[in-house]
Structure 1
Amino acid sequence: MDRVDRWARSARSCLVRSSVRRSMPWGLLGLMLGGSLVKDWAPLPESYLSNKRNLLNVYFVKFAWAWTLWLLLPFIGITNHYVTQNALAVLRRLTALLVGTVVWYACTGVFLHIEDFTGSCYKSASLDVLHRQHPSKLQCLQAGGFWHGFDISGHSFLLSYCALMIVEEMAVMHHLDTSRNPRLHRVVNYLFLALSCLTVIWLFMFLTTAIYFHDFSQKLFGTLVGLLAWYGTYRVWYLSPFSPGLPPNIASWSSPKPKRSL
């Protein structure tokens, strides 16, 4: 248990600081730009990570939103209830996951429509023979063709958005002290460490996407959409009273309320 506590304290010092939340959007842009420069100017040789069938891509990235949702749901519920002792406040905060699900579903749907609208069907990946009789991607693929359109990087969007969302929600750990409840302390530590590991995986696979896949413009648009989705929710909408709100601050919930004057 002492080892888990040490790991949790180390992860807190790295991921829970406000400076990390402020700098991560710029860090993501830096990873995308740096990886894209490597891909375009000094491409790395083919490797296990350049294969789309690698384990991290198949079992984690393909289900990135499911992993994020599955871990954030109990984490937000437990930590927010411990701080607020208010079931309605917890339910309100959990709607942030519903908002995230809508954002994920809507953006990926728009990406697919853009690829379908801007693309054409070719006989092969060499783009030499055009199949005009197949005007949609579905028809093209069913006919054994190759569809070429503006394929905005869904991985760049989703991995950046998930990483930013997790870091925002882990901010509740900054002042959270569950040491008086050993069982709760253990559960929160394990959930926090799992989310920390997931964040590292998302950042690593985000960089891998930048180095090996997609054109620069496709990755740029995907990353910008992820950053805008985060900014529009956690930096704009969630500051208003009619929203899921931000993770609770213990000081604001524990401080005594001012007495009304008679």
Structure 2
Amino acid sequence: MATRRKPQQYGDDLTNGTHSPPVMPLQTSPAARSPFLPTRLEALLISIYPSTLLLGSIFSTLSSSTRNVPYSATSQSHPPEFAPSYFAHKKNIFNIYFVKVGWFWTTLAFSIFILLNPDFGRGLSRRRIQALFRYLSVTFWWMCMTQWFFGAPLIDQYFRFTGGQCQLMRDPEARKQMGDKTEYFTAAACKAVGGSWKGGHDISGHVFLLILGSALLWFEILPALTRAEGLRDGRKITLDDGKIASVAVEKQRGLSGLGVDMKNEDGTTRKGVKLAIGVMALMWWMLLMTAAYFHTWFEKFTGLAMAFAWLWGVYFLPRGVPALRAVLGMPGV
């Protein structure tokens, strides 16, 4: 009986000092996993978000400390005098200095990671430019949803589209001037004049921001963590000829032009990761608090859906579309 030859493992040539690219078999079987789908590890990380929202929502439903206290559908929170927890106050320190400026913390953690991590090569390398494009793409979606989209942000536009408006002015004269139909097109403008933003579907901006920012950081640092911990990178890509292959094929091509010392790479991949993990951990905690004390089930779900939809377009779609991958790249490749 012939002895079955042991397949060559990726990385053998790199660890023995040579740099010739290993031969990577292409996976052309119809049963091969689609490049557009997450790996097992990615699916596990992604599942944390709906699980957290479900856990917080169940807690808010079953806990007597939240179930038996008044809840304002207009403000999507418990009135301050009845708040069942410090984190149920909108003015808690973490909400004011962390969540309200959450994109600043996301940007800070992302910037430190790509600037200090030598895996991105030297100077303004291809990897670093593509990482910047991914960040700008996600930032663009954050701005459209929460800041401006040819007028009011999309969250406020959707609120008005579903029947919401600015009403119940505290100042009778201001209310009289406003009339029955609001002239204020954003929640911020409505509240600034003492009005109440009510009547429509309010996509949870907190859920959207916390998931979008933390998932961006997760996807960026995950390849560094998998190498540092010796975990397998199971991502698949579609090549220019339409064949499906392991991401290691493209990773090897990219490394040849970066001047990265693979023998010392594992010792440097943790630079910048600690801050990102700290930011992600606090975002997860505030996501749990948001799920427990703010918004309805459906409002939290739509916040999650709006974040996931764009993240898929930035971090999964390029795997199966070579032309898009040439622009946005892939983390760690």
What TM-score do the two structures reach when normalised by structure 2?
A: 0.59
Partner of 1:256: none
Does 2:222 correspond to 1:171? Answer: yes
Partner of 2:294: 213
Alignment partner of 2:184 out of 131, 136, 152 = 136
**Structure 2 counterparts to residues 145-224 of structure 1, below 5 A:** 145-148=195-198, 149-173=200-224, 174-175=226-227, 185=268, 189=270, 191-224=272-305
Partner of 1:82: 119
Which AA in structure 1 matches 2:275? A
Partner of 2:328, secondary structure, is coil
**Distance in 2 between the 1:91 and 1:168 partners?**
16
Q: 1:49·1:208 contact (CA, 8 Å) conserved in 2? A: yes
Does 2:72 correspond to 1:35? Answer: no
Q: Matched residue pairs, number?
A: 224
CA deviation vs aligned residue, 1:28-80 (integer Å, no higher than 9, x gap): 1111122122223435341110011111111111111111111112312332x
Partner of 2:327, secondary structure, is coil
Where structure 2 has 5 or more consecutive residues not aligned to the other structure, the ranges are 1-38, 67-83, 147-152, 229-260
Alignment partner of 2:328 out of 216, 241, 244 = 244
Aligned in 2, Cα 1:84/1:114: closer, same or farther, shift over 3 Å?
same
Partner of 1:53, secondary structure, is coil
The root-mean-square deviation of aligned C-alpha atoms, in Å, is 3.0
Partner of 1:52, secondary structure, is coil
Structure exhibiting the larger radius of gyration computed from Cα positions: 2
What TM-score do the two structures reach when normalised by structure 1?
A: 0.74
Q: 2:87·2:289 contact (CA, 8 Å) conserved in 1? A: yes
- Alpha-carbon distance, 1:121 to partner: 3.5
**Bigger helix share:** 1
Partner of 2:197, secondary structure, is strand
**Distance in 2 between the 1:78 and 1:246 partners?**
18
Aligned in 2, Cα 1:91/1:106: closer, same or farther, shift over 3 Å?
same
- Alpha-carbon distance, 1:106 to partner: 1.4
Aligned in 2, Cα 1:237/1:133: closer, same or farther, shift over 3 Å?
same
Q: 1:234·1:246 contact (CA, 8 Å) conserved in 2? A: yes
Which AA in structure 1 matches 2:111? L
Partner of 1:22: 43
Partner of 1:150, secondary structure, is coil
Q: 1:73·1:97 contact (CA, 8 Å) conserved in 2? A: no
Instruction: Give structure 1 regions of 4+ aligned residues with deviation exceeding 4 angstroms.
Output: 83-86, 137-140, 176-181
Aligned in 2, Cα 1:142/1:94: closer, same or farther, shift over 3 Å?
closer
Q: 1:115·1:150 contact (CA, 8 Å) conserved in 2? A: yes
Partner of 1:3: none
Alignment partner of 1:123 out of 168, 171, 190 = 168
**Distance in 2 between the 1:27 and 1:121 partners?**
35
- Alpha-carbon distance, 1:179 to partner: 9.8
**Distance in 2 between the 1:58 and 1:190 partners?**
28
Identity %: 24
**Distance in 1 between the 2:141 and 2:181 partners?**
34
- Alpha-carbon distance, 1:162 to partner: 1.5
